[in-house]
Amino acid sequence: MSNPRTAQLVSGERLPSPADRSCRDLEYVSRGVRSFIRIGAGLGGEVADFVANGGFYRACVITDDHVARLHGAELRACLADAGGPEQYWYSIAPGEDSKTLPRVYECLEEILPFMTRDSLIITLGGGVVGNFGGTVSALLFRGCPFIHLPTTFMAQADSAIGAKQAVNATRAKNAYGAFHAPLGVFDDIRFLDTLPVGEWRNGLAESIKVAVASQPLFAAQLSHLLCRCPRFTDDEIYFLIAETVRPKVNGLTADLEERSALMFLELGHAIGHAIERATQGKVSHGAAISLGMLIEATLGIRLGITCAAVHDLLSELFSTLGLPRRLPRGLGAEQILASLTCSSRRVASGPVFVFATTVGNTVTHSGIATALIREVLTEFVAGV
């Protein structure tokens, strides 16, 4: 994380192209407080300065065992070298199984004696660590300041951005949580140097989602870029992150809870989350929402809402990236339907679906007949 080469993105400015090295900072306002996103390569010194000069009494780093082994020592040294506050490190087992209220409670009980109201929580890890640490931060003292150091593409381009902090119920994804925004997010793309190709694919599923739901130009650019995965240049990584987060950041100030203008970010998530829960996280978030997008596009076509071009584009992009287009063996329609009925996105008339009408446009619907959902799900069962 040494040798900083910071890229800064300003919300609303012209799009950076892969050849454009002058990226800038992004920011949004959460309940009157500014929250920044800094995208750069080698941000360890900046993180350490932020923590050392922020007036924090102590700092608790929440990470997972895998990320701690890969990147923990360097962050620990950076914070100490900058003369930062006393550190406490808390590590969870990697993976979705850790994203539960009992694990959050264990963490809170352990760090409580160390923490004070003027201390800082730092999350270092992927989306699981970010959601877990964000929930801990929301609950501790009814809201403790925190920053994210996301280490997966998924987390840098999506999950670390915004105020939604949640952990899973046994039967529903992200069912327990709160809205609590980080002070800032340091997207250090050097963390991605150690990311396996499967995790790149997972994260890029969110880029495809944003492109298909709201950015037709980005969708066209992805068609050319995705075949290079994971051998992207730094400029391409800046571009992919910036384009994926930009629509979200532009909407967060007005729609912090992502329930109106930012609802398009839920494309593929009704079915996707049901797949994740039905498999207890064995299907990764990225693979699950990819399948969710394809299945919901098929459902949308049957309902006369979605145009065939949406399905064809999704299919092409997932195929280029090597993301699944059939449900995994052993997973049937009934398991997904059972999970869907517990969706944390349901209203009185049933689960809420976001359908792409055309590439770049979405609508929200609920009250879809279970028989039709079952029929479409069955078409995606492996071996059918």
Ligand X SMILES: NC(=O)c1ccc[n+]([C@@H]2O[C@H](COP(=O)([O-])OP(=O)(O)OC[C@H]3O[C@@H](n4cnc5c(N)ncnc54)[C@H](O)[C@@H]3O)[C@@H](O)[C@H]2O)c1
181 close to 256: Cβ distance less than 8 angstroms: yes
What residue is closest to ligand X based on CB?
127
Is residue 279 a contact point for ligand X (CB under 6 A)?
no
In the numeric block, the tokens 């082994």 are attached to: 69
How far, in Å, CA of 365 to CA of 347, rounded? 11
Q: Please, what is the minimum distance in Å from the beta carbon of residue 181 to ligand X?
A: 11
The count of chain residues that interact with ligand X, using the rule CB under 6 A, is 29
Q: Which range binds ligand X by CB under 6 A, 83-91, 138-146, 191-199, 341-349? A: 191-199
The piece of 8-16, 36-44, 89-97, 103-111 that touches ligand X (CB under 6 A) is 89-97
| CA dist., res. 149 & res. 143, Å (int) | 19
Q: What are phi and psi of 27, to 5 degrees?
A: -155, 160
By CB under 6 A, is residue 151 in contact with ligand X? yes
Helices (H), the chain: 44-52, 65-67, 73-81, 101-111, 127-139, 153-154, 197-214, 216-225, 234-252, 269-278, 285-302, 308-321, 333-340, 370-379
Q: Is 248 in the site for ligand X (CB under 6 A)?
A: no
Taking a C-beta distance cutoff of 8 angstroms, is the pair 177, 125 a contact? Answer: no
Q: Segment 288-347, which members bind ligand X (CB under 6 A)?
A: none
| Residues belonging to the active site | 164, 266
- What part of residues 31-70 is at the interface with ligand X (CB under 6 A)? 64, 66-67, 70
Taking each helix axis as running N to C, give the angle between helix 197-214 and helix 234-252, from 0 to 180 degrees, rounded to the nearest 10: 50
Question: In angstroms, rounded to a whole number, what is the distance separating the alpha carbons of residues 322 and 259?
Answer: 31
User: Which range, of 53-61, 147-155, 226-234, 336-344, touches ligand X by CB under 6 A?
Assistant: 147-155
Give me the least distance between CB of 53 and ligand X, in Å please. Answer: 26
Among 91, 119, 123, 131, binds ligand X (CB under 6 A): 131
Name the minimum Å distance from CB 127 to ligand X.
2
- Among residues 59, 75, 99, 185, the one that binds ligand X under rule CB under 6 A: 99
Between 56 and 96, CB nearer to ligand X: 96
In sequence order, the β-bridge partners of residue 100 are 168
Interface ranges with ligand X (CB under 6 A): 64, 66-67, 70, 94-96, 99, 125-129, 131, 151-152, 154-155, 158-159, 162, 164, 173, 191, 194-195, 199, 202, 285
